[in-house]
Structure 1
Amino acid sequence: MSYIAAVDHLYALGHELAPAPNATSPAEPRRKFDLAHMRALAAALGDPQTTFPSILIAGTNGKGSTASTLASILTAAGYRTALYTSPHLSRVNERIQIDGQQIPDDDFARLYFQVDDTARRLVRESVLPHHPSFFETLTALAFLYYAEQHVDIAILEVGIGGRLDATNIVDPLLSIITDIALDHQDYLGNTIAEITREKAGILRPNGTLITLPQHPEANQAIGEVAATLHIHAISAAPYIPHTPIRQTPAVTSNAVILTLSEQSDSKGNNPGIPPAELQLPHNHYSLTLAGQPLEINSALTGQHQQRNIALAIAAAEELRNPIGYNIAISNQHGYKITNSQIEEGIRKTRWPGRLELLRFPEGPTLLLDVAHNPAGAWTLRAAIAQLPETQPRTLLFSCLRDKDLREMTQILLPLFDSSADRPHDHILFAPIDNPRATTLDELTAAATALDIPAQTAPSIAEALTQARAITPTDGIILATGSIYMVGAIRTLALNGGANPA
């Protein structure tokens, strides 16, 4: 069957976090998570996840950036490297990559229906109580693809939590935990400690953990789990720079600005030289690794990315240690990764939608960032502070209902308050095509509570059109609050801009 049929069939499964049909609350999940179901599906498919080494990455923010950076390093070192991430911005194929290339449509369709046929049989035989979810199905598909493509290693980003996540059926070489904050409380717990314990579910007895010092509650919870499991814990703190970041010329800027009239590659990336007049702080600094210099020149923008880069460096350093972890599956002498290959991998990392600047042929610049929780909003606010103070700004914002709308708007909306001393600023809300989306009335109420003026648009396409019309040509449009919004706006922009629906 066709790729389009496979994608339509996949989306018909429904999102795990979408409310159940008979739910009494928007936060009531469609189903309970049960890792036994994922193990049963994988077993029926031949347990493809056992045919390649893997690394699991859990956390609230920074998982995707860390995963993409580590995958890029391993690819630069010559290893056939799989990368599994979620969610996607434009196409579901983005989630399943090898050496930076998305799974081809034909392979996606073929493997999707293999998983689907197997799942239906298991339901008929009462091995499974119901059909696997959207994420479980995609995870099984990815494992099959990586197995048949004989990857050397797979970098797997956990979807939600860790303990019960579909990815957690692998036996990882390393477990990485990125920064933890409050998010998905309805499913993971109401405190940092509770959420951390769910994330720490990716740890294995006598395994290896790579993480960084962070919130005290998270540190304590990680430490308690690590002690119980006799974990070998590695801190990536030595790989965070302690000197001021150098500002480099525009030709090497990591503020990825794309002239939308120019040709883009299949991922929407463009390696062209960005204009010098608008740049964000550039992560270019020097470290020492194994007694040798390491020059970091990252294509990821924002000071917060230094933590994600540090985690990737620490993981690469541990992977080339032949006695530090279980490598019985592959590569009996450790992964051969040089400092220059780590530098190359970091330099070539691309992760769209994360402080990504796009430029229209005429008019304002577009800044995209998938800040979808309060911690991400604070990170974005720090980046906004680096923009020219006098530059006019328009905020395009929307979010999902299970996010902390009140706190996110308190963090971001005051930066775009046209009733204060920024008369050329604007705030636009737009609806997201998702059953979990916050309504326009709820968004407007949040702005009213702060006494900050805001407008609404009936669709994301019209919101982008309106934003381009009201923002001065030297201004900037910032789209954030939801990965779904950022993905839709990015697609519109890369296709030449939006017209009223």
Structure 2
Amino acid sequence: MKYTDALATLSSLGAELPKGHTTVTGVRKFSLDHIRALSQALGNPQNRFPSVLIAGTNGKGSTASTLASIAAAAGIRCGLYTSPHLERINERIRVSQPRETGSSLEEIPDAIFGSLVERVNSAARLLVEQSVLPHPPSFFEAMTAVAFCYFADEGVELAILEVGLGGRLDATNAVEPIISVITDIGFDHMEYLGDTIAKIAAEKAGILRQDGVLVTLSQHQEANYAIGEIAVALNVRGVDAARCLPGTRLVAPDPASERQLARLDSPLGRNRYDLSLDGEILHIDSPLSGPHQQRNIALAIATAVELRTNHGFAISNEAMEQGVRDTVWPGRLEWLPPRLAPDGRVHAPLLLDVAHNPAGAWTLRSALSLLPPTMPRTLVFSCLAEKPVDEMMQVLLPLFDSSSGDPDRAGDHVVLAPIQSPRAASLEELEAAARKLDVPFHAAPHVPAALAQAEAVTPSEGIIVVTGSIFLVGEARTVALAERKPQAVPAIGKKL
């Protein structure tokens, strides 16, 4: 099957998260029975490699990518499965290269992706014909099956799997993880997971196994209780990642440095700090910005130590340092430097963040507080209709309110635009939410126009913050990277 045909086949399976759980065949109930039947028809590829399964509301992708980078740096043939993607669907499925060719995690090639979609689709079609399955698998079930097959075919020694939704009934939970990891839990997807932290946490704790291992950090009291109750019932051994947290805050780069003056590096800085681990000092230098990432880095390191100590994986402290340093996870407080336009004007840098729920919005708000207060700011915002748009705007828009009377905010702007998704909030819905807050805004018909408008109103010494949806960040990132040539930008950072 050609790559384009594979994309069309997956698209025919419906949206990744259909509203109300409905499909063309009627109501689809969440169940592991379908992915298990499909996996069995494919030869149970998920049983041919050990897995680490990571659930949570926020931070699970950052934790997964950091852990996979550590494993790759240690020379482990590692598979990484994450969702959703920013720009290309291949991003979801990656495998590290052999030790002699480096430790990077590379996307599944188009040709192999096409052949595996055909293999999964053929198996599913036969199961439907035999009435083993009542209907074709969902988009996410099919993608998960493709990842299982690819990892098995590639002979991965360890798979790092990010849960798509919840945990208990997520397709990734078809594996038998050697370690389960639970990141921070908050309110999201409540129509699927429940309307309380306790209910949501219980769904996430569905990735735990009898006599298994859980790596986590203390968090919301209700979440701690719900997870702890299930862990005790299953006789799970808990690993507290708190010892892998730093005792000090991140160290921002020197604003007088050459790269900072050229605005090539983010003013938010990298996470740099030292940890004492088993009597040795571990030097942490992560490209993932923001204090909140320290919790995700801690979870990844604690899991790596558990893999080394109790599961036979040779992961040195040096590999942990290199893996953390080499982590690639775009769209998370990602800094895109200024660009030089054809007319000679320098356009402001972009800060891309996929904050797509209230907890993510608060985390972004905290990170923005680290910016120089006099830096002019423009917000490009959009989100999905199913998200609490009013609450997210209440968190973020006041930081860009040019009518607030704060002289530092007098030059700020807000630009709203719909995203390319059937689940997107309409421009009218976004505008109505902004009017409730009485914050001035501009409206754009689509994301490229929103970026152009933001660049037009933001001075070169300012910043454009793009956030509210993974779909928005993915679309904006594609447009921005096609235009940016940071090496041609003169130093302007003295205005910070």
Task: Confirm or deny a common fold (TM above 0.5).
Answer: yes
Return the letter of the residue paired with 1:481: G
Whether the 8 Å contact between 1:139 and 1:167 is mirrored in structure 2 is: yes
Query: 1:363 is matched with which residue: 316, 341, 347?
Result: 347
Tell me the distance in 1 between the aligned counterparts of 2:200 and 2:112: 36
Query: 2:465 is matched with which residue: 478, 482, 486?
Result: 478
Return the letter of the residue paired with 1:73: I
Distance 1:468 1:101, change over 3 A: same
Tell me the distance in 1 between the aligned counterparts of 2:22 and 2:116: 32
The TM-score, its normalising length taken from structure 2, stands at 0.91
Tell me the distance in 1 between the aligned counterparts of 2:17 and 2:88: 19
Match of 1:338 in 2: 316
Distance 1:277 1:182, change over 3 A: closer
Return the letter of the residue paired with 2:317: N
Residue 154 of structure 1 aligns to a residue whose secondary structure is strand
Match of 1:372 in 2: 356
Q: Deviations over 1:223-254 (max 9, x none)?
A: 1000100000011011111124333447999x
Return the letter of the residue paired with 2:289: T
Residue 347 of structure 2 aligns to a residue whose secondary structure is coil
* Unpaired runs of at least 5, structure 1: 24-28, 258-272, 328-333
Of the structure 1 ranges 431-440 and 166-175, higher mean CA displacement relative to structure 2 is found in: 431-440
Tell me the distance in 1 between the aligned counterparts of 2:336 and 2:136: 40
Match of 1:92 in 2: 89
Match of 2:487 in 1: none
Match of 1:314 in 2: 302
Match of 1:443 in 2: 430
Match of 1:151 in 2: 156
- Cα RMSD of the aligned pairs, angstroms, is 1.9
Whose helix fraction is larger, Structure 1's or Structure 2's? 2
Whether the 8 Å contact between 1:18 and 1:30 is mirrored in structure 2 is: no
Tell me the distance in 2 between the aligned counterparts of 1:298 and 1:83: 19
Whether 1:54 aligns to 2:51 is: yes
Q: Deviations over 1:167-194 (max 9, x none)?
A: 0010101000000000000000000000
Residue 283 of structure 2 aligns to a residue whose secondary structure is strand
Tell me the distance in 1 between the aligned counterparts of 2:28 and 2:477: 31
Residue 495 of structure 1 aligns to a residue whose secondary structure is helix
Whether the 8 Å contact between 1:281 and 1:386 is mirrored in structure 2 is: no
Whether the 8 Å contact between 1:250 and 1:274 is mirrored in structure 2 is: no
Whether 1:456 aligns to 2:461 is: no
Shift of 1:12: 2.2
Whether the 8 Å contact between 2:54 and 2:180 is mirrored in structure 1 is: yes
Match of 1:207 in 2: 212
Shift of 1:277: 7.5
Query: 1:398 is matched with which residue: 367, 377, 382?
Result: 382
Tell me the distance in 2 between the aligned counterparts of 1:287 and 1:22: 48
Return the letter of the residue paired with 1:451: D
Identity %: 56
Match of 1:428 in 2: 415
Query: 2:120 is matched with which residue: 115, 119, 137?
Result: 115
Tell me the distance in 2 between the aligned counterparts of 1:19 and 1:346: 37
Shift of 1:19: 2.9
Tell me the distance in 2 between the aligned counterparts of 1:22 and 1:315: 37
Residue 184 of structure 2 aligns to a residue whose secondary structure is coil
Q: Deviations over 1:80-125 (max 9, x none)?
A: 1100000000000000000110000000000001101111111111
Of the structure 1 ranges 244-253 and 177-186, higher mean CA displacement relative to structure 2 is found in: 244-253
Whether the 8 Å contact between 2:179 and 2:214 is mirrored in structure 1 is: yes
Match of 1:180 in 2: 185
Match of 1:289 in 2: 277
Residue 75 of structure 1 aligns to a residue whose secondary structure is helix
The TM-score, its normalising length taken from structure 1, stands at 0.90
Match of 1:193 in 2: 198
Tell me the distance in 1 between the aligned counterparts of 2:20 and 2:217: 37
Match of 1:264 in 2: none
Return the letter of the residue paired with 1:339: N
Whether the 8 Å contact between 2:186 and 2:359 is mirrored in structure 1 is: yes
Tell me the distance in 1 between the aligned counterparts of 2:265 and 2:7: 41
Tell me the distance in 1 between the aligned counterparts of 2:412 and 2:289: 24
Residue 36 of structure 2 aligns to a residue whose secondary structure is helix
Distance 1:134 1:30, change over 3 A: farther
Residue 402 of structure 1 aligns to a residue whose secondary structure is coil
Q: Deviations over 1:43-78 (max 9, x none)?
A: 000000000000000000000000000000000101
Shift of 1:18: 2.2
Whether the 8 Å contact between 1:248 and 1:284 is mirrored in structure 2 is: no
Return the letter of the residue paired with 2:64: A
Distance 1:178 1:463, change over 3 A: same
Distance 1:122 1:133, change over 3 A: same
Query: 1:384 is matched with which residue: 351, 368, 387?
Result: 368
Whether the 8 Å contact between 1:64 and 1:157 is mirrored in structure 2 is: yes
Shift of 1:423: 2.2
Distance 1:21 1:235, change over 3 A: closer
Residue 368 of structure 1 aligns to a residue whose secondary structure is strand
Distance 1:247 1:278, change over 3 A: closer
Whether the 8 Å contact between 2:22 and 2:28 is mirrored in structure 1 is: no
Q: How many pairs does the alignment contain?
A: 465
Q: Deviations over 1:252-308 (max 9, x none)?
A: 99x9x9xxxxxxxxxxxxxxx973785104311111111111111111110000000
